[in-house]
Amino acid sequence: MTVATPLPPVVSPTVTSDIDARLAKYTTVRLTTDYALLTANERAMIPVLIEAAKAMDEVFWMQAFGTRDSLLASLDDPRMRRYAEINYGPWDRLAGNEPFVPGVAPKPKGANFYPSDITAAEFEREVAAGGARADSLRSLYTLVRRDANGRLYAVPYHHAFAAQTARAATKLLEASRLADDPGLKRYLELRAQALRTDDYQASDLAWLDMKTNTIEVVIGPIENYEDALFGYKAAHEAFVLVKDQEWSQRLSRYAALLPGLQRGLPVPEEYRRETPGTDSDLNAYDAVYYAGDANAGSKTIAINLPNDEAVQLQKGTRRLQLKNSMRAKFDAIMVPIAATLIAADQRPHVTFDAFFGNTMFHEVAHGLGIKNTINGRGTVREALKEQAGWLEEGKADVLGLYMVASLIADGGMPDANLRDHYVTFITGIFRSVRFGAASAHGRANIARFNFFRERGALTRDEATGTWRVDDARMREAMNALSETILTLQGNGDYDGVVAFMSRYGTIDAVLQGDLDRLSARGIPVDVVFEQ
């Protein structure tokens, strides 16, 4: 049985050979941390965990494209090979997944999770009867393939990727024997078992129970953005992290504020009646290794997990702020964007502390709102299918800013300046819009930019080509967008989400012209890691 075949090449006359310009979208950053602060066992764990992460890299290549080596061996130009490595395939993730390799077909919406010729209608017919077969086809942890008669069937991940998951599990158990922290030891043991069975809930709960560990690893099939057909399939990834104990202590108090912030959301009561888990952690880390989905195209600078709604309601989530990655992006990207597109008198309000805070509360805000629809349509993720990912990112962005504004107003952030957060937030929109329509974060930022501009929260000075934030209208737009998104989620309103994106999800000529100015100045879109 073949489960990871490469997608068939088809001649595409629109492909251009501007590979140098594509590579210039990224700047290289070295990931490091202060290893002297670690114990001997902790230092010994890191290379073992990196070996486990490399197995996730192999799996994600098969999920996103097919056979990695077949693609790379076919590319004579080393620059094109490098760009394929950055994108985990022949499609440019910063350019709407357009092919950059001549002769390659457009990327299937379902990547390599499904047969390349599948349609949404066919899949819906196959699962309409319900039952165990339908559940397995829709599962987060299966590939969908055809048998000899063309009928769809599901292949569990731990069978499809048996060699890679076994290798990763072995390395996790090896690392567990080095773990001095009992919570980390238990998590590594349970996560190794989960990779072999595709049953992740016990290890998710154990991960949330860890409180005193310095070494952190996030590993397995986690996010479902790569599946743009339905958003059903989770993609494999890994992060190897080192906790910054000093910064983490500064952040720890905010997780306890979640229930009160939930009660104050600007939305009718039925859309905020869920109670967030109170065991949520908020910590800062240095990243030392990214792999798989996490390393493809634009790189995340913060994490909020687990995604399992039942675990979130029972225990909450853990928010991980990747401080060294965040600092690199702020210095290399945010500062020059502000110098180009933000009004001169507001540029001093673009600060790293505000960038860190906005990013932090974005992750906290994933725990707010609603996880289950109010009208019996199942979870929000199930009801909104492939639209769920970008809308959830949009929710987290705007509710994160809402939380900052609320805390500053209540005295909970006495050293913070609200205008810093507003102007830095808008600058961050310009940064994230450049990720393009293939990214959930990119789509969310395009829609939010247009929504805020429509309501006068930001205006453009035609003479200088710069943008200015209006504080009062910013608050009004923030509350209006929060209510709109939470209502769409709570209603499981798939058609409403599609209509919202149709109205707000387009980059017009003015915005495109400003984005082109950033490119002309050589400001990178994102980073690649030396690791």
User: What pLDDT does 355 receive?
Assistant: 95
The radius of gyration of the chain's CA atoms, rounded to the nearest angstrom, is 22
Determine the 3-state secondary structure of 441 from DSSP. Answer: helix
245 pLDDT tier (thresholds 50, 70, 90): confident
User: What pLDDT does 280 receive?
Assistant: 64
d(C-alpha 111, C-alpha 354), whole Å: 36
d(C-alpha 482, C-alpha 477), whole Å: 8
**Three-point CA angle 170, 175, 181, nearest 5°:** 140
- Return the residue matching tokens 């077969």: 133
The answer to whether 187 touches 210, Cβ cutoff 8 Å, is yes
The average pLDDT across 192-206 equals: 97
Among the listed residues 27, 34, 23, the one whose alpha carbon sits nearest the alpha carbon of residue 330: 27
The pTM (predicted TM-score) of the whole model is 0.82
The average pLDDT across 223-238 equals: 95
500 pLDDT tier (thresholds 50, 70, 90): very high
Asked if the model's pLDDT at residue 494 lies above 50, the reply is yes
User: What pLDDT does 464 receive?
Assistant: 96
Among the listed residues 324, 334, 331, 318, the one whose alpha carbon sits nearest the alpha carbon of residue 301: 324
User: What is the pLDDT of the chain when averaged over all its residues?
Assistant: 92
The average pLDDT across 77-82 equals: 96
Choice among 125-129, 197-201, 232-236 with the minimum mean pLDDT: 125-129
Burial 332-344 (b: 16+ CB within 10 A, else e): bbbbebbebbbbe
User: What pLDDT does 278 receive?
Assistant: 58
Asked if the model's pLDDT at residue 12 lies above 50, the reply is no
pLDDT digits (tens, 9 = 90+) for 504-521: 999 999 999 999 999 999
6 pLDDT tier (thresholds 50, 70, 90): very low
| 130: region left, alpha or beta (phi > 0 left; psi from -120 to 50 alpha) | left
User: What pLDDT does 363 receive?
Assistant: 78
Q: Tell me the CA distances in angstroms from 221 to 160, 189, 226, 321, one per residue in order.
A: 13, 17, 11, 20
The average pLDDT across 27-47 equals: 96
What's phi and psi for 182, nearest 5 deg? -65, -35
pLDDT digits (tens, 9 = 90+) for 391-427: 999 999 999 999 999 999 988 888 899 999 999 999 9
Q: pLDDT over 70 for what percent of the chain? A: 95
Give the H/E segment covering residue 191.
Answer: helix 182-197
2 pLDDT tier (thresholds 50, 70, 90): very low
17 pLDDT tier (thresholds 50, 70, 90): low
Among the listed residues 498, 481, 484, 448, the one whose alpha carbon sits nearest the alpha carbon of residue 271: 484
Choice among 17-31, 166-180, 353-367 with the minimum mean pLDDT: 353-367
User: What pLDDT does 238 receive?
Assistant: 98
The average pLDDT across 306-323 equals: 87
Asked if the model's pLDDT at residue 285 lies above 90, the reply is yes
Neighbouring residues of 373: CB distance < 8 A, sequence distance ≥ 6: 379, 380, 383, 489, 490, 491, 492
User: What pLDDT does 233 receive?
Assistant: 97
User: What pLDDT does 5 receive?
Assistant: 46
pLDDT digits (tens, 9 = 90+) for 462-488: 999 999 999 999 999 999 999 999 999
- Return the residue matching tokens 């073992």: 48
Asked if the model's pLDDT at residue 258 lies above 90, the reply is no
pLDDT digits (tens, 9 = 90+) for 364-391: 788 788 889 999 999 999 999 999 989 9
d(C-alpha 408, C-alpha 413), whole Å: 5
255 pLDDT tier (thresholds 50, 70, 90): low
Q: What is the DSSP string of 95-163?
A: TTTEE-STT-PPPPTTTTTS-TT--HHHHHHHHTT-HHHHHHHH-TTEEEEE-TTS-EEEEEHHHHTHH
438 pLDDT tier (thresholds 50, 70, 90): low
